[in-house]
Structure 1
Amino acid sequence: MNDISIQGCPAPQNISFVERLQPLIGRTVTVFGPGIPKLTRTTGKLCNVTPASFQVGSLKVVFKTSFFIVVNEPVRKVLPYDVTATAEDIGTLRGKLIRVGRNFVEFVQVPGRDVPTIFPLNLFTGVNCEQEHEE
């Protein structure tokens, strides 16, 4: 985990990516990954969450790859931070921070719907937070 690139974000909460996914088992989520010419998108029930991978429908996703998950549940609260998250072969996502975990960030994509995006922190990803300024 020493190679994780995260800058300017508040201290992480004591929750791992796997722990964040546990309450979502059996619920419908959408996972996005690299694809040509655009991102692949798979929607299905989340299952088989292990320390190394998880499954959405028939798609098995290994944590040590580029991907992000969109959860179809309303967001309760965002923090006053703008997030820029970048993943190899996916590109850059921007949004409003919900929380930082030990090995993931969660945010609402802007522009987009008010639902959480769970973005893993691994050697293929980088995250930068910037605190919103009062005007």
Structure 2
Amino acid sequence: MSNIDIEGCPAPQNITLVQRLQPIVGQTVTVFQPGFPQLTKTIGKLSGVTSSSFTVGSTVVVIQTSFFIVLKERVKTTRPFDLTATAEDIGELRGKLIRVGRDFVEFVQMPGRIVPTLFPLNLFTKVICEREHEE
């Protein structure tokens, strides 16, 4: 865990990205990866989830790289934290925290999304949580 850069977030739940992905194998997801001149977007069925990679459509994604996944399910609840997630060659994503796992965060991208985004915690990424400010 020493290579994971995460600040201000609540304690992680005892779940890994692989464990989070396994129940949704067979569902359609969207994965975003670095590409030039813009992000590469792949939509397909999730399959082949292993401890080091997973497959979306025909694209194999290595877990220890820069990417994020957008799911199709609706978000039920969020936690009172604003989140900023930064990934090498992807940039910054902002949202409302759903949960922190052992090696990922799950959040709703703002503005406007109502589906979860899964974002890995690895040496290519950084996450900062801030408690929502009371107005």
User: In 2, Cα distance between the equivalents of 1:126 and 1:111?
Assistant: 20
Instruction: Tell me if 1:89 matches 2:102.
Output: no
TM-score normalised to structure 1 length: 0.99
User: In 2, Cα distance between the equivalents of 1:126 and 1:12?
Assistant: 15
The one-letter amino acid paired with 2:99 is R
1:76 match: secondary structure: coil
List gaps (5 residues or longer) in structure 1. none
User: In 1, Cα distance between the equivalents of 2:85 and 2:21?
Assistant: 19
Instruction: Tell me if 1:65 matches 2:62.
Output: no
User: In 2, Cα distance between the equivalents of 1:43 and 1:23?
Assistant: 18
Please list every run of at least 4 consecutive aligned residues from structure 1 whose deviation after the TM superposition is greater than 3 angstroms.
Answer: none
Shift of 1:112: 3.2
May I ask how many residue pairs the two structures share in their alignment? 135
Aligned to 1:22: 22
The one-letter amino acid paired with 2:81 is Y
Identity value in percent: 70
Shift of 1:111: 1.4
> How is 1:7-86 mapped onto 2 (pairs within 5 angstroms)?
7-86=7-86
Aligned to 2:118: 118
**What does the per-residue CA deviation read over 1:89-113, in whole Å, with 9 as the maximum and x for residues that have no partner?**
0000000000000000000000132
TM-score normalised to structure 2 length: 0.99
List gaps (5 residues or longer) in structure 2. none
User: In 1, Cα distance between the equivalents of 2:76 and 2:44?
Assistant: 23
1:74 match: secondary structure: coil
Shift of 1:64: 1.0
User: In 2, Cα distance between the equivalents of 1:11 and 1:46?
Assistant: 28
Aligned to 1:127: 127
Q: In angstroms, what is the RMSD of aligned CA positions?
A: 0.6
User: In 2, Cα distance between the equivalents of 1:37 and 1:112?
Assistant: 25
Shift of 1:45: 0.3
Shift of 1:37: 1.0
User: In 1, Cα distance between the equivalents of 2:55 and 2:21?
Assistant: 11
